[in-house]
């Protein structure tokens, strides 16, 4: 029996990187998957790649901005209309900002809070009635930098720390309803975002994959699928006794 056989999962930020990798892995494990992203072109490419890799994959793609509160109710409504249930919510949507806090602009703060934190809160709230009905679960994607912050990305790191707090509070509140809530904290993951960012500096994907990282014990980048696996485990019944957990998938991040 596939690990998610019969389950329905929503994954935000599904058009690339960790979201797309998780979508493919969930399809491989028997889930019917709803991918959500605001980038229509990237979403079409991700869905095509998943369908090519997983014959018979059952996918619904929704092009929506999860930062908008109204999107949350629509995502749940479209999911239950298509599949009649919801078992797993993976809150993965996120953006970055490269600003020292002394220079951080109000509009940057607002946007990163909307995408990285409020989208998780709104969608979790709207999904909870359906998740209670199936005794489902939520997996929030935070970051190793929720607990290992660094200079120059204080806004991003603050939102990821808030996701960890949100995860634990939701787990405490929803345990009586049978809903588990956990978080995964990825470290350096070689997503398309980073590939594009470093390409602009003249560095190739191959060079990045060969690079030795000094800030984690495994000394390398993770591939998105390596983060999808812990998400899969937490979403599956194998983790039925796990809630309020924060799973570090960061290659052994060194504490500086």
- For the chain, percent of residues with pLDDT exceeding 90: 88
User: Which residue in 183, 146, 185, 139 sits closest to 162, CA to CA?
Assistant: 146
Q: Give me the numbers of helices (H) and strands (E) for the chain, helices first please.
A: 9, 7
The token pair that represents 46 in the structure block:
């991700």
pLDDT band at 201 (very low <50, low <70, confident <90, very high): confident
pLDDT given at position 195: 87
Q: How far apart are CA 109 and CA 223, in angstroms?
A: 29
Among this protein's residues, is 156 annotated catalytic?
yes
* Residue 7: pLDDT over 90: yes
pLDDT given at position 207: 86
What's the pTM value of the predicted model, to 2 decimals?
A: 0.95
142 phi/psi in degrees, rounded to 5: -100, -130
What pLDDT, in 10s, does the model give residues 50-75? 999 999 999 999 999 999 999 999 99
What pLDDT, in 10s, does the model give residues 94-149? 999 999 999 999 999 999 999 999 999 999 999 999 999 999 999 999 999 999 99
Q: How far apart are CA 168 and CA 38, in angstroms?
A: 28
* Residue 226: pLDDT over 90: yes
What pLDDT, in 10s, does the model give residues 154-176? 999 999 999 999 999 999 999 99
pLDDT given at position 256: 59
* Residue 202: pLDDT over 90: no
Q: How far apart are CA 69 and CA 216, in angstroms?
A: 37
Catalytic choice (98, 156, 229, 241): 156
**H/E run at residue 164:** helix 154-174
| Domains of the chain with bracketed CATH | 8-190+222-249 (3.40.50.720)
CB-count exposure of residue 121 (10 Å: 0-12, 13-18, 19+): middle
Task: Return the DSSP state at 200.
Answer: T
| Largest pairwise CA distance in the chain | 53
Mean pLDDT, rounded, of the chain:
96
Quick one: average pLDDT of 12-36?
Answer: 97
* Residue 184: pLDDT over 80: yes
């Amino acid at each position: 029996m596939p690990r998610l056989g019969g389950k329905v999962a929503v994954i935000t930020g599904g058009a690339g990187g960790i979201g797309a990798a998780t979508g493919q892995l969930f399809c491989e494990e028997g889930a019917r998957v709803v991918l959500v992203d605001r980038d229509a072109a990237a979403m079409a490419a991700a869905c095509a790649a998943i369908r090519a890799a997983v014959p018979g994959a059952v996918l619904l793609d929704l092009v929506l901005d999860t930062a908008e509160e109204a999107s949350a109710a629509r995502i749940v409504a479209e999911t239950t209309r298509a599949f009649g249930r919801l078992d797993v919510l993976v809150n993965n949507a996120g953006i970055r900002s490269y600003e020292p806090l002394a220079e951080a602009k109000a509009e940057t703060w607002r946007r990163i809070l909307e995408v990285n934190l409020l989208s998780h809160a709104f969608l979790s709230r709207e999904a909870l009635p359906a998740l209670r009905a199936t005794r489902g679960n939520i997996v929030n994607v935070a970051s190793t930098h929720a607990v290992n912050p660094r200079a120059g990305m204080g806004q991003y790191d603050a939102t990821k720390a808030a996701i960890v707090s949100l995860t634990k509070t939701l787990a405490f509140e929803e345990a009586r309803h049978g809903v588990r809530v956990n978080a995964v904290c990825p470290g350096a993951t070689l997503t398309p975002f980073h590939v594009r960012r470093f390409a602009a500096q003249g560095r190739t994907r191959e060079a990045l994959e060969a690079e030795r990282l000094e800030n984690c014990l495994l000394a390398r980048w993770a591939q998105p699928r390596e983060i999808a696996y812990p998400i899969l485990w937490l979403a599956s019944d194998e983790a039925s006794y796990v809630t309020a957990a924060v799973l570090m998938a960061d290659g052994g991040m060194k504490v500086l």
